[in-house]
Structure 1
Amino acid sequence: MNLVTTLRRGHLLKHIDLSGVGLEIGPYDQPTVFKSEADVRYLDWKDKEQLVQECTHPDMIVDIPDIDYVVHSNRYCDYIADKFDYIIANHVMEHAPNMIQWLSDLCDMMQPGGVLFLALPDKKFSFDKYRQDTALSHFVAEYLAGVEDIPREHQIECEIYYDEAFVNKPMHVADKLDMNRIKEKLKAPPHVGIHSHVFESGTIVSKVLKPILMMGFVEFNLVDFVPARGETGGEMIIVLRKEPPRVELATEEFYSAPVQTTHTSNTADTVDAVATAQRLADAEKAVTELRARLAVMQEEIASRTSTISALESSTSWRITAPLRAAVTKLRGLGSGGRNVSY
């Protein structure tokens, strides 16, 4: 089990105990939950034999499990009558042409209180990093229109914005905007790996998830969200529970402008950024050292204050008080009556 799958399991097991009936969509050779540990079924567009034959890494040992439900569309309800206590879909939702309908169908396939566990890529960490986030209006329009296939808009978007560096190829804008090349590409069926929609961790909750729940398309409540990080493969985690949604979304949060992410920088910008980071690190180190020195000084002052207080309250201090007063008076006389500080 690789690191990404291990981390997914950790988040999943916070919300379910594997005692119910589960469904994992498209597990390939890295299922999140194994049949040996739970009553879990697997769903895919192809059976095990087909998946093994079409494996893109023939030199690798690929342990693909048996597929329980083979479907031929995103409308899983047409093939499955069973109800599930939890459903797992890793890197699936971004492929669904009609995302709201897809979520609604999964909701219908779940028992009340069931958990839907989703892992999906943050575009910043993928070949989609130059694409615009899919807008809420886009999802609503696709749902109301009953979209079933990948629209040409998404195919064209992928042709123009796909980050060629992902396959070790150069990016040339003239080639990307060549309409003859785009038209030729559109003659073929959409690539199986195309992402119908793209998301970012910083905006998906306030711009997509909460609004969809507030609009009443699905009876889900958002119970957990884990933003994407580079060390986790650039994927975010979303956990939904089948129950009446309790969503709070401030007007300012929904209508705030998304933060623009810069994906390229010149050498000077990079050097400035590194220098700034170093200065900040040095400043933080200096502040930390000053705070440590201040803490030592405060402890010393507190210790001396405590010693003085103990001395002043002691019996010997009270007994010698007349003598100290006489010495002070004699010092004053010896200096001609002037106050002398020692």
Structure 2
Amino acid sequence: MRAARRARIVGDVDLRQGRCLEIGPLANPVVSAEVADVRYVDVVDRTGLVAHYEGNPAVDPDAIPEQHFWLTRPDGTVSTLAEAVAADAPYQHVVASHVIEHVPDMVGWLRDVAQVLTWDGALLLAVPDRRYCFDVHRTPATVGQVVQAHLDGDRTPSVRAVLDHFMRAVDHSAEQAWAGEEPPTQGSHPLDDVRRHVARQQAGDYVDCHVWPLTPQVFAGLLDDLLALGHVDFAVERITATRVGDQEFYATLRRLDRRRDPAVATEEARAALARLRAELPDESPSPRPGDADLVPAHVVADLEQQLTETRERLAKVRSARDRARRERDRARAEATDPAPRDGTGLVARLGRRLRP
């Protein structure tokens, strides 16, 4: 299961080529040392992560790897990603699963990632789709909010982000969303908790939350706007629709070649992104039970693709099974066919092996 998800995140990128940085692996790294030459970075070190998630049933503390770098300095201030990993950069690949929606300053973060990549490096993203998680009631992120956070120099999630997250979050899973169940209207965080988190933010604490509610179309639109404004140094190579039954989508961003004319590189990147956006499905609400005639074409196509993949895996399993059965039957035949003393039995057996 983990290998299959990693394949969806990585796409066509070969992680064995060059060095890799994974941001925020927590207890479920996408990339392990067996897969690539990888380093890990998070907001705090492993001890801090274990303490922060103590008692959280969703996080296995024993599975949290040692962090090679962390953003929080000894004095409590927070460094940038580029500052934290500067001594070890550059990397060929940066992997970030369910990270970009948390970063306080998306523009600054994308610039940091570009800074620590090789000139042709790739940023590989897995991003939760707000329609299929606790963000379902939240308004999608806007380019104005993204640019404002950058101009404000946010190093921690803003009051706006903390309030939007904790006031609007609801208990709603991808399974419930795809089944067409209405999300609850009651938020999952009591007002006292909301006030407490805001007070922490005002006191200077890093209050982790979803800063940017995204969907494939919203994310593609943001990147196009940021490219037009000259705020990002990436072209978008791939952006997927959210698979039926899942809650996340995937994107591959390739660093713009700084040896080229920036205006030309940006124009080409926007043209390529326009083609990708045109291939993304319309983001109308998920179909509800009984709406079979209204199932969007992309949902049908996705189910057909998953069925094809399942059939291919089944064919491989059957082929391996049949091969094992043939080898077993051959071994049994040889064990019950003793060779005569004149050696004709051996010749006969060799003949059977050579016959198709």
Q: Normalising by the residue count of structure 2, what TM-score does the alignment of the two structures yield?
A: 0.63
Between 1:127-136 and 1:55-64, the stretch displaced more is: 55-64
Q: Distance in 2 between matches of 1:210 and 1:58?
A: 35
Residues 177, 216 of structure 1: alpha-carbon distance in 2 compared, 3 angstrom cutoff: same
Q: How far apart are residue 32 of structure 1 and its match? A: 1.8
Aligned length: 261
Residues 177, 261 of structure 1: alpha-carbon distance in 2 compared, 3 angstrom cutoff: farther
Question: Quick one: which of 208, 218, 235 aligns to 2:222?
Answer: 208
State yes or no: 1:120 paired with 2:133.
Answer: no
State yes or no: 1:136 paired with 2:151.
Answer: no
AA matched with 2:209: I
Question: Quick one: which of 241, 244, 255 aligns to 1:227?
Answer: 241
State yes or no: 1:64 paired with 2:69.
Answer: no
Between 1:182-191 and 1:194-203, the stretch displaced more is: 182-191
Q: Distance in 1 between matches of 2:273 and 2:37?
A: 41
CA deviation map 1:234-262 (0-9, x unaligned): 111111111244212899x99xxx97855
Residues 52, 118 of structure 1: alpha-carbon distance in 2 compared, 3 angstrom cutoff: same
Q: Distance in 2 between matches of 1:51 and 1:66?
A: 10
Between 1:116-125 and 1:235-244, the stretch displaced more is: 235-244
Q: Normalising by the residue count of structure 1, what TM-score does the alignment of the two structures yield?
A: 0.65
Question: Quick one: which of 144, 151, 160 aligns to 1:153?
Answer: 160
Q: Distance in 2 between matches of 1:95 and 1:209?
A: 16
Residues 74, 204 of structure 1: alpha-carbon distance in 2 compared, 3 angstrom cutoff: farther
The runs of at least 4 aligned residues of structure 1 exceeding 6 Å deviation read 175-178
Q: Distance in 1 between matches of 2:64 and 2:26?
A: 5
**1:301 aligned residue:** none
| 1:237-276 matched pairs, under 5 angstroms | 237-243=250-256, 244-245=265-266, 246=268, 247-248=270-271, 261-262=284-285, 273=291, 276=293
Q: Distance in 2 between matches of 1:45 and 1:118?
A: 18
CA contact (8 A) 1:9 1:32 kept: no
Unaligned runs of 5+ in 1: 279-342
Which secondary structure does the structure 2 equivalent of 1:112 belong to? Answer: strand
CA contact (8 A) 1:125 1:230 kept: no
Q: How far apart are residue 18 of structure 1 and its match? A: 1.8
Q: How far apart are residue 209 of structure 1 and its match? A: 1.2
Q: How far apart are residue 15 of structure 1 and its match? A: 2.1
CA contact (8 A) 1:23 1:41 kept: yes
Between 1:33-42 and 1:43-52, the stretch displaced more is: 43-52
Unaligned runs of 5+ in 2: 73-77, 177-182, 257-264, 296-356
Residues 163, 34 of structure 1: alpha-carbon distance in 2 compared, 3 angstrom cutoff: same
CA contact (8 A) 2:141 2:212 kept: yes
Q: Distance in 2 between matches of 1:234 and 1:100?
A: 24
**1:22 aligned residue:** 20
Q: Distance in 2 between matches of 1:132 and 1:264?
A: 20
Q: Percent identity?
A: 21
